[in-house]
């Protein structure tokens, strides 16, 4: 007991709060001396170029996009897989909703920001996804995932997260204050390794498996490796009633943020209608286009495909690995040259590879396939890509 008291006291002393016995003059001097760094660091030359050469669109047809330089490029750059946003029905539905409800919703869902189209969309989406499900919508896709993860996982829980997850999920994991473990992207062996490690720890700590809530976080299609298929903006999560009701009170993006514009939801409802009617044929077209595109892309010398055969988001990296900085500059140059020749693809260098949450993502070229592209477009895309890769690699 005495020993304990003794040690306790010395320990307390050691850990005691730093007591700055500084005179007022010393404090003043310290304050006067302190100079902060600038608010933001300077951009590197290539980042500067990303900003200044940023493409500004002046027209968009789903199949092509026109930039302010007057170039009309084949669209392999965005996620409008089904070409929904330019469909007449979607526009018509938006126009009608605008005439009824005006534009903004002027408040969060709980504060009279819930308007009929929001309810319709949630019901329709739940129907679309199958029986016994309910859905909840957010006004931005990214906050859907970050809010959802943080609404369910709490301090003390354990999340096992795929390293390649989209930023929204990673932010959600961070905000939840849970313990987070990562496993290598899409690597089931690594996932098993992590899970076994956890089980080992359980045994060591004699911790019951049920003591801690555990989640595995993964994505349908990995954006950075390869969903906005409805031609609208926003996001939806689906689950049973308990899951959705919980979010209505705990999803930060739902509770504290203004709801989506009603016409946006109405557009998504129209998009769902089209998908129900033409979904099968659309998927067929998409997979046909994908096959053709893969044929073109796999013939490009100097690049390797890392994405799955079934993913409409095609991801290509350099065959011969180089330094990160060099790789991303080469790919950026390819992207720019493609654009000048009328092909819009995305080089995922500066803006994604170096983002705060990503540490080990290789730079690559991302090509998305959609249903509105023609056979000629695919051929042309292949030709341009081959030519430009030859120029720079």
Partner 1 sequence: MDEDPYADFANQDTQPLPNFTPGPYNALDPATGNLLRKSLNLGSYNYLGFADDWNQTCKEDVVGALGKWGVSNGGCRVEYGTTDMHRELERLVADFLGKEDSLVLNMGFNTNATTIPALVSRGDLIVSDTLNHTSIVNGARASGAAIRTFKHNNAADLEDVLREAIVLGQPRTHRPWRKIIVMVEGIYSMEGEYCNLRMVRDVCKKYKVYLYLDEAHSIGAMGATGRGCCEYAGVDTADVDVLMGTFTKSFGGMGGYIAADAKTIAYLRTKCAGSVFHNSLSPIVCQQILTSFRVIMGLDGTDVGARKLRALRDNSNYMRMRLTDMGLHVLGNYDSPIMPVMLYNPTKIAAFSRECFKRGLAVVVVGFPAVPILMSRARLCISAGHTREDLDDALVKIEEVADICKIRYGWSSFG
287-346 binders of partner 1 (CB under 8 A): 344, 346
> Does residue 228 bind partner 1 (CB under 8 A)?
yes
Sign of CA dihedral 323, 326, 329, 333: negative
Q: How far apart are the first and last CA of the chain?
A: 73
Distances (CA, A) of 331 to 36, 71, 300, 347, 356: 36, 20, 14, 6, 20
> Nearer to partner 1 by C-beta: 87 or 292?
87
- Which of 355, 345, 354 is closest to 386 using CA atoms? 345
> Does residue 13 bind partner 1 (CB under 8 A)?
no
Residue window 174-213: x/- pattern of binding to partner 1, with contact defined by CB under 8 A: xx--------------------------------------
CB of 334 to partner 1, least distance (A): 15
Q: φ and ψ at 47, to 5 degrees?
A: -65, -40
> Nearer to partner 1 by C-beta: 80 or 327?
80
Q: Which runs of consecutive H residues, i.e. helices, occur in the chain?
A: 2-15, 24-33, 45-52, 88-101, 116-129, 141-152, 167-175, 188-205, 241-250, 252-255, 262-298, 324-340, 350-353, 375-392
- Which of 199, 194, 220, 223 is closest to 209 using CA atoms? 199
CB of 366 to partner 1, least distance (A): 8
Binder among 11, 51, 284, 383 for partner 1 (CB under 8 A): 51
Tokens, residue 160: 């096992």
> Does residue 39 bind partner 1 (CB under 8 A)?
yes
Q: How far is CA 249 from the centre of its chain?
A: 24
| CA dist., res. 81 & res. 62, Å (int) | 9
> Does residue 58 bind partner 1 (CB under 8 A)?
yes
Binder among 64, 72, 133, 142 for partner 1 (CB under 8 A): 142
On whether the CB atoms of residues 275 and 230 are closer than 8 A, the answer is: yes
> Does residue 71 bind partner 1 (CB under 8 A)?
no
Site for partner 1 in 232-251 (CB under 8 A): 232-233
> Does residue 273 bind partner 1 (CB under 8 A)?
no
> Nearer to partner 1 by C-beta: 78 or 288?
78
Q: Which stretch binds partner 1 (CB under 8 A): 2-10, 169-177, 214-222, 286-294?
A: 169-177
> Nearer to partner 1 by C-beta: 357 or 393?
357
Tokens, residue 249: 């009170």
On whether the CB atoms of residues 358 and 352 are closer than 8 A, the answer is: yes
Query: Which residues on neighbouring strands pair with residue 66, listed in sequence order?
Result: 59, 72
Q: Which stretch binds partner 1 (CB under 8 A): 3-11, 133-141, 184-192, 305-313?
A: 133-141
| CA dist., res. 347 & res. 345, Å (int) | 7
> Nearer to partner 1 by C-beta: 81 or 152?
81
> Does residue 95 bind partner 1 (CB under 8 A)?
yes
Q: φ and ψ at 165, to 5 degrees?
A: -65, 155
> Nearer to partner 1 by C-beta: 125 or 166?
166
> Does residue 169 bind partner 1 (CB under 8 A)?
no
> Nearer to partner 1 by C-beta: 3 or 356?
356
The count of other CB atoms within 10 Å of the CB of residue 97 is 24
> Does residue 220 bind partner 1 (CB under 8 A)?
no
| CA dist., res. 281 & res. 290, Å (int) | 14
Q: Using CB under 8 A, count the residues that bind partner 1.
A: 97
Q: Which stretch binds partner 1 (CB under 8 A): 17-25, 193-201, 214-222, 310-318?
A: 17-25
Binder among 158, 195, 218, 258 for partner 1 (CB under 8 A): 258
Helix (H, G, I), strand (E, B), or coil: what is residue 166? Answer: coil
> Does residue 219 bind partner 1 (CB under 8 A)?
no
Residue window 107-126: x/- pattern of binding to partner 1, with contact defined by CB under 8 A: x-x-xxxxxx-xx-------
Q: Which residue has tokens 């760094």?
A: 37
Q: Which stretch binds partner 1 (CB under 8 A): 90-98, 154-162, 194-202, 299-307?
A: 90-98
Q: φ and ψ at 34, to 5 degrees?
A: -65, 125
CB of 103 to partner 1, least distance (A): 4
């Amino acid at each position: 007991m005495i020993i304990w008291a003794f040690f306790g006291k010395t320990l307390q002393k050691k850990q005691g709060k730093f007591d700055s016995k500084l005179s007022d003059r010393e404090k003043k001097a310290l304050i006067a001396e302190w100079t902060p760094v600038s608010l933001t660091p300077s951009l590197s030359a290539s980042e500067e170029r990303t900003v200044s050469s940023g493409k500004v669109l002046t027209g968009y047809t789903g199949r092509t996009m026109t930039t302010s330089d007057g170039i009309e490029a084949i669209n392999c750059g965005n996620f409008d897989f089904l070409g929904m946003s330019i469909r007449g029905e979607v526009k018509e539905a938006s126009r009608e909703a605008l005439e009824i409800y005006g534009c903004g919703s002027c408040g969060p869902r709980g504060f009279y920001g819930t308007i009929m189209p929001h309810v319709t969309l949630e019901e329709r989406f739940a129907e679309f996804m199958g029986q016994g499900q309910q859905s909840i919508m957010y006004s931005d896709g990214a906050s859907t995932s970050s809010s959802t993860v943080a609404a369910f996982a709490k301090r003390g829980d354990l999340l096992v997260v795929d390293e390649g997850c989209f930023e929204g999920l990673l932010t959600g994991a961070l905000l939840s204050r849970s313990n987070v473990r990562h496993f290598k992207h899409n690597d089931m062996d690594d996932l098993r390794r992590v899970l076994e490690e956890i089980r080992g720890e359980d045994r060591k700590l004699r911790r019951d498996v049920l003591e801690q809530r555990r989640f595995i976080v993964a994505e349908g299609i990995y954006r950075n490796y390869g969903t906005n298929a409805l031609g609208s903006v926003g996001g939806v999560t689906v689950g049973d009633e308990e899951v959705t009701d919980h979010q209505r009170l705990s999803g930060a993006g739902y509770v504290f943020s203004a709801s989506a514009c009603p016409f946006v939801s109405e557009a998504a409802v129209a998009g769902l209608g089209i998908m129900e009617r033409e979904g099968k044929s659309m998927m067929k077209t998409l997979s046909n286009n994908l096959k053709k595109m893969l044929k073109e892309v796999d013939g490009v010398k100097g690049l390797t495909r890392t994405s799955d055969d079934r993913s409409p988001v095609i991801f290509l990296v350099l065959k011969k690995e180089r330094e990160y900085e060099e790789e991303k500059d080469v790919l950026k140059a390819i992207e720019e040259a493609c654009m000048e020749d009328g092909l819009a693809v995305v080089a995922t260098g500066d803006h994604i590879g170096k983002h705060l949450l990503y540490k080990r993502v290789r730079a690559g070229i991302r090509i998305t396939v959609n249903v509105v592209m023609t056979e000629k477009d695919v051929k042309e895309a292949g030709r341009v890509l081959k030519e430009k890769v030859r120029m720079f690699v």
